[in-house]
Amino acid sequence: MGTVRRIDSLLDRMGLNRGDVLRVEGEGGLSYASGVAVNEVRELLRGERSAESGPDVDMVEARHRRVVERILFLRATRLRAAADGSRRAYSLAEIAAGAGTSAQWLDKMIKTGRAPNLDHAAGIAAFFGEKIEFLVAEPAEALDRVLQQIHKDLLERTVERQDQDLRRLRTAGPASEVDPALGVVAYAARALADVPDDTAQPLIALIESVARRSREERAREARAALENGVVHNDVD
């Protein structure tokens, strides 16, 4: 949830839609990228505890089941493109050949629900372009790994946008010519024009955060005043 909160903060600053960035379903979504079932991803995003980590769960059995389920997940979601443009699941023989084992062994593993050893697990994961962590990580850890990458990408985009804003504002005309819509953040950037970027950027981000909270507070006050006015009018 800490990673989610940091992502939400960046989304708010960049004006991006949470549903677009934290899409759960579909190819490239959080479930696809983490190997965690759609319903479980939604539960974790709400801060709910994974059923896999309950007090009555046999952790060894849970790990075996998790690895086998993730292998089946990869087979169902990482499809092979056919010559006619269609897509199909890899056969057990194809997976086994790529992982350095046999189709019979792989079939038995799936039927018995017993996870392979680390070498075979790593081979199967690599066949689908993933690391072994994809197969063995607990749901919350698997999802957080994906969220951490999203946060990193957003942070890089935020810094890049701040750099662009700084360059634009530093080369702008007199302060009176700066777009008023940029508000106090624009004037702060102008005032810090001669300050090194690594010092100016955190200051501008702080000012931007304070300005945003001030706007939100004014909006709440306006809504409260409007609601009070409606109540008084009803009484009159």
**DSSP per-residue letters across 89-117:** PPPHHHHHHHHTS-HHHHHHHHHHTPPPP
Task: Give the pLDDT score at 170.
Answer: 62
Per cent of the chain over pLDDT 90 is 40
Beta strands in 4-140 (DSSP E): 80-81, 87-88
Task: Give the pLDDT score at 181.
Answer: 43
Band (180; pLDDT cuts 50, 70, 90) = very low
Top pLDDT among 45 and 235 is at 45
- Residue 89 phi/psi, 5-degree rounding, is -75, 145
pLDDT tens, residue by residue, 84-99: 889 999 999 999 999 8
Task: Give the pLDDT score at 230.
Answer: 52
Among the listed residues 177, 170, 162, the one whose alpha carbon sits nearest the alpha carbon of residue 207: 162
pLDDT tens, residue by residue, 186-196: 556 556 556 66
Band (202; pLDDT cuts 50, 70, 90) = confident
User: Is 25 in a helix, a strand, or coil?
Assistant: coil
pLDDT tens, residue by residue, 144-156: 999 999 999 988 8
